[in-house]
Amino acid sequence: QQQVKQSPQSLIVQKGGISIINCAYENTAFDYFPWYQQFPGKGPALLIAIRPDVSEKKEGRFTISFNKSAKQFSLHIMDSQPGDSATYFCAATVSGGGADGLTFGKGTHLIIQP
Amino acid sequence: DVKVTQSSRYLVKRTGEKVFLECVQDMDHENMFWYRQDPGLGLRLIYFSYDVKMKEKGDIPEGYSVSREKKERFSLILESASTNQTSMYLCASSPVGNYGYTFGSGTRLTVV
């Protein structure tokens, strides 16, 4: 059972444009939603995270939008740059419930064209 | 610079071999995890550990076992490697109650 659905699988955006990656979850107990960025040959690295008590979190050019009623959250990359080209994973978990591990989406391969 | 170190970047093993993948973290984290990453399937949890000598099955534990004899070291064991275990294996760690995992760079295992 896939608990976190991520789309699209791949995305091509022109430099300076807005990249948008979407995720939907099923488990209403999830209360922590991070995004990870992975460059080729590297492990994923935490990019930004949100809890459902807020609808938006912004860090620099990266913004998470969260819609609790729809059970959806998305990553927006403003003014996308070639250096943002990477694979992005959304994830979710029930915090405080023990070290159960994050449930990841299947990833989005993002290419920013110069 | 804190980090998670996986002992091998690339491994090639034969079918039926016993394979050990080692992971060491220097952050004194309680929690450690093993994931496998496959194209189109994302990251899938194999096993995790929240304390020394403790282990819990993740979503896809079949064909794998783990060992955590020391807090900083978490080993993944393939008892009898099979070709369907060819994959990228990622180790991660986190402190208790913190889900900002730190990942290693991964071990790309090929079973022939």
* Architecture of the B4-111 domain: Sandwich (2.60)
Nearest to B22 by CA among B72, B80, B56: B72
Half-sphere exposure of B77 (CA within 13 A, CB side): 10
Q: Which chain A residue has its CA at the smallest distance from B96's CA?
A: A99
Quick check: B106 and A43 CB within 8 A?
yes
- Candidates B41, B48, B104; nearest CB to A99: B48
- Residues of chain B with Cβ-Cβ distance to A49 below 8 Å are 99-100
Nearest to B18 by CA among B76, B74, B89: B76
pLDDT digits (tens, 9 = 90+) for A46-56: 999 999 889 99
Sequence spans of domains, chain B: 4-111
pLDDT digits (tens, 9 = 90+) for A79-104: 999 999 999 999 998 876 555 678 89
Domains of chain A: 4-97 (2.60.40.10)
Tell me what pLDDT residue B89 has: 98
